[in-house]
A and B are shown apart, each in its own frame.
Chain A
Amino acid sequence: MKARDLVDLAARNLREALFRNSLTTLGIGVGVASLVAMLSLGVGLQNLASDSLSHSGLFNAIIVTPRTNFTGFGGPGRANPAAAATPMVPLDESARGEIRALPHVIEVYPEIRFPTEIHYNGNPYPTVVAGIPESDRDGGSFDGMQGHFFSGPDASEAILQIDLAKQLSDQPYSLLGKDLVLRYAERTPLPAAGGGDSGAGSGGFSIVPHEEKLRVVGIVETEPSAGLGTFGRGRLLIPLQLAEQLQATQTNDLRDLIRDTTGSTKKTYDNLTVRVKDAVDVKAAEDAIKKMGFSAFSLLDATRNLRLVFTVFDLLLGIFGSLALVVASLGIINTLVMAILERRREIGVLKALGAADRDVQRLFFAEAAAMGLLGGVVGVAIGWLIGRAINFGTDFYLNRQQLPAIKVAAVPWWMVAMAIAFSVAVSLAAGIYPASRAAKLNPVEALRYE
């Protein structure tokens, strides 16, 4: 029998026992809905975690340190003794430029943090200043911030962490738009005793107090991500470019001066953060940086582990979600076995008119598949609605807690296709027994059946 005729006959048969078949289909729908709701929760949570982490800039970031200086995150004493014997490649401005020129690299910036004092309303407040790169604008760290991000990469503006703002004023949000004065120690290179190289100097540096007026443009509730390998950015945040221009003395300057073996006091970096376009570009960039003679570290392995955890999580959710579908498949078997009993004579007639066993089998399979397809579509729709309801409920709760909205459940297109295909596959599997039983029916006995 041709496929079109098969579908036509199957649809006709399904319409014949409409109520029973609708209930069976609804059973499948509920099973699929349970599966989709579970998976949508798993995928939603995975997306949430991935988005948060990728917003934090951890997955497309590489931390570069001078090879001999890098002691790992476990503390000192892990430097490679062999590497110490080779000349150190300085992580300076020219190295920064070379790294910036690598393919897929979008940003290379140093970590700038320095202790300082701010003056507001004539009172001094000690704090730590941190430079914030422009890429953090869309990074999610400043989601929910009062005010706005810096208007430009070197704007004389500041974002305050709420604890600092509370120190400055009893009404911290009233600080928005106000000016405050930053007092800091500027590092000025000294000319070399014998002339030396100009600009950078080679005779050490002097420390000169300086002031910079900053306008408060934002107040952030949570401390923005500390970034990879650092311990918090500080409480007064300024544009990174501005922070670099200030030439503020940092904690490592004195150490660098003592460690210097090149006779140069040219500015070097303790570490640089390299951002690439996408997480997939990290490996290539990391290899290229290592070839340049630096140490490089990324969190790609952590990403892999995270994905593995979520894959197992999704699998478990899928198994629990599938249980309802398994129960629904019993409904299909029951419905089709009932149909065989009711249509015994009809099967006999079909065989008498020339239907092969295969035709009868395919007819029952088509009916099972049709119920699976319809149940799958209905189930996906119900599952999607459940996901929406979960999101709505979560948003409502978070909104009441004055927290930003998140998407807990997600139903991507691949899940829609997979759920429907799975529903059809389970239905076909459930149809195997009834279909083969119908196909094997003896036509003489079937025709005799009243």
Chain B
Amino acid sequence: MTSSNISASPGASGATARSDQAAIRTEHLVRHYPMGDALVRAVDDVTLSIPAGEFVALLGSSGSGKSTLLNLMAGLDRPTSGAIFAHERNLASMSSDELARHRSHTIGIVFQSFNLLPRMTLEENVELPLRLAEVERGERIARVREAVDRVRLTARLSHRPSELSGGEQQRAALARALVNRPTILLADEPTGNLDSATGDEIMNLLREINEGMGMTIVMVTHEQPRAERFAHRMILMGDGKIKNDGGRA
């Protein structure tokens, strides 16, 4: 992929309520880690700003650093140096407990391999973040229903992940990511394990969430055509650096 391929998506809607206030901002963000004798520069001096309400696609080849950057945004990993802000709160200076609260209240995460807990039903899987956030049981039930309705899986509440199709599992994972009403949704290759039609379903859902709820979405993907259709902005990464930032649509 060349930088000329990265541009504002013609398919992206301009109607989304986006603000100039940054939902996520990084300043000279660096994440290095040792691998044997070598030092891997997974994220190398990345500075960017993602306004609230924006739908951003992080593109790049394997090992380009996009997933590491996503993990840093989620607070699952800590930077080697630099700063990363979520709603102007620096994650780099947060304690382990504060990062856990950040993941619980600010961030929703969707993985390529869904990561639903196999022994729990769909309802229990979606309820799990609410338990971790110590939400009262009565409210938990209402919020699970609301999230499951949004991804149109109400009829499958009592099913276990093994009884759901790939698309349904990813929708369930999406409901789980939304149930705590985060302001930022991070998606790591959300369509990577799905066929094209099901992948489009998920992307449509993401767009609905972005437009309907005004949620900031950062999606890691290597499918540029799909990113062009749905994202407002595409950022191309390579060797841990931003090679091209498509800017806002």
Contact = CB atoms under 8 A, between A and B. Distances in A.
Contacts of A348: 115
Contacts of B96: 356-357
Contacts, number: 63
Given A346-B117, A351-B103, A355-B100, A444 B134 contact: no
A349 B117 contact: yes
Interface of B: 71, 74, 76-77, 96-97, 100-101, 103-105, 109, 111, 115, 117, 119-120, 128-129, 131-134, 176, 180
Interface residues of A, number: 23
A78 interface: no
B112 to A, nearest CB: 10
A346 B97 CA distance: 19
A352 B103 contact: yes
A353 B103 contact: yes
Contacts of B104: 353-354
A447 B128 CA distance: 17
Contacts of B131: 1-2, 5, 9
9 closest A-B pairs by beta carbon, nearest first, are: A354-B104, A356-B100, A5-B131, A353-B129, A354-B132, A354-B103, A443-B76, A349-B115, A355-B132
B65 to A, nearest CB: 13
19 contacts: A2-B131, A2-B134, A9-B131, A12-B120, A352-B76, A352-B103, A353-B104, A353-B109, A353-B128, A353-B176, A354-B103, A354-B104, A354-B133, A356-B96, A356-B101, A357-B96, A443-B76, A444-B71, A447-B115
Contacts of A443: 76-77
By secondary structure, the B interface counts as helix
Given A351-B76, A354-B105, A1 B119 contact: no
Contacts of A351: 76, 100, 103
Given A350-B132, A354-B132, A447-B111, A12 B103 contact: no
Contacts of A213: none
Interface of A: 1-2, 5, 9, 12, 16, 345-346, 348-359, 443-444, 447
A16 B119 CA distance: 8
B115 A345 contact: yes
* Interface hub of B120, B128, B134 (most chain A Cβ within 10 A): B128
A276 to B, nearest CB: 60
Nearest to A6: B131
Nearest to A348: B115
